[in-house]
């Protein structure tokens, strides 16, 4: 495959990279996502385009490969010290999770680092899918992708409304994480479950709070845990 070179920050491909990285609407219209660094690039088999430093050895394949300099890699990744490779990849399709037994659901979660960390924890601990309400942060946000460490491309995800979540819950136990819920130690582990985690400041929506059983983690000397820490404990338990 012939490898070309891009030297200008104003090149149309570089502008497309930046728009994909920074604009949620554009990402989802194009159904593409930016991957920064060897770890993320290695998680996806079919890459659309690669930008790489000429002296960086790699075996990745894509429809187009371009040699670039440090300034361009900084621009496309938004990082001050980027790795020598970045890529554009197809965005995974949303899936239906009705046949999955263990689902992590996010309601209004706004911090991309927390969401990415929890996707990574869910995959590592054997959960089978993630459900996101429309007002959650984009899982393909650059910070969410970095925190997920590749889990975004291996954990099936469904985007849906509270009504869609209600339908999923008809054949499953559903737990809502809430500081006023029943202690986790009092809950008998079921054969399937949906765990719902809410906004870092506001918690779960009123509608979901009213519908489902609440659980909490007993803690001492602290008022609360952040959603990533609390979620990881609940996922493991």
pLDDT on residue 110: 94
**Window from 23-32, 82-91, 158-167, 188-197 with minimum mean pLDDT:** 188-197
At 23, the pLDDT band (50, 70, 90 cuts) reads very high
Summarised one tens digit per residue, pLDDT across range 103-150 is 999 999 999 999 999 999 999 999 999 999 999 999 999 999 999 999
Q: Is 52 helix (H, G, I), strand (E, B) or coil?
A: strand
Question: What percent of the chain has pLDDT above 70?
Answer: 93
146: left (phi over 0), alpha (psi -120 to 50) or beta: alpha
- Whether 4-90 and 102-236 share one fold: the answer is no
Domain ranges of the chain: 4-90, 102-236
Report the alpha-carbon distance of residue 32 to residue 48 in Å, rounded.
9
Residue 34 Cα distances to 63, 76, 125, 145, 216, angstroms: 15, 8, 26, 9, 36
Q: Which CATH number fits domain 102-236: 1.10.260.40, 3.40.50.2000, 3.40.1280.10, 3.40.50.20?
A: 3.40.1280.10
**Residue with token string 């779960």:** 204
What token pair was written down for 91? 């965005």
Kindly report whether the global pTM for this prediction surpasses the value 0.85.
yes
**How crowded is residue 144: how many other Cβ atoms within 10 Å of its Cβ?**
23
Residue 222: pLDDT band with limits 50, 70, 90: low
CATH topology of domain 4-90: 60s Ribosomal Protein L30; Chain: A; (3.30.1330)
């Amino acid at each position: 495959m012939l490898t070309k070179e891009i030297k200008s920050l104003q090149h149309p491909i570089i502008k497309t990279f930046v728009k994909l990285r920074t604009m949620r609407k554009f990402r989802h219209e194009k159904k593409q996502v930016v991957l920064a660094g060897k770890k993320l690039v290695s998680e996806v088999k079919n890459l659309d385009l690669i930008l790489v430093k000429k002296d960086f050895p790699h075996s990745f394949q894509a429809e187009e490969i371009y040699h670039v300099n440090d300034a361009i890699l900084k621009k496309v990744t938004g990082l001050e010290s980027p790795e020598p490779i970045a890529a554009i990849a197809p965005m995974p399709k949303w899936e239906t999770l009705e046949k999955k037994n263990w689902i992590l659901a996010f309601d209004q979660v706004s911090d991309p680092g927390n969401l990415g960390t929890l996707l990574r924890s869910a995959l590592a601990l054997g959960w089978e899918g993630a459900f996101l309400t429309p007002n959650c942060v984009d899982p393909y946000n650059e910070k969410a992708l970095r925190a997920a460490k590749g889990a975004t491309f291996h954990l099936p995800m469904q985007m849906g409304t509270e009504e869609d979540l209600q339908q999923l819950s008809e054949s499953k136990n559903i737990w809502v994480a809430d500081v006023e819920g029943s202690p986790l130690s009092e809950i008998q582990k079921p054969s399937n479950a949906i765990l719902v985690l809410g906004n870092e400041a506001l918690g779960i929506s009123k509608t979901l709070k009213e519908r489902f059983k609440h659980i909490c983690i007993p803690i001492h000397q602290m008022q609360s845990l952040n959603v990533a820490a609390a979620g990881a404990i609940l996922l493991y338990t």
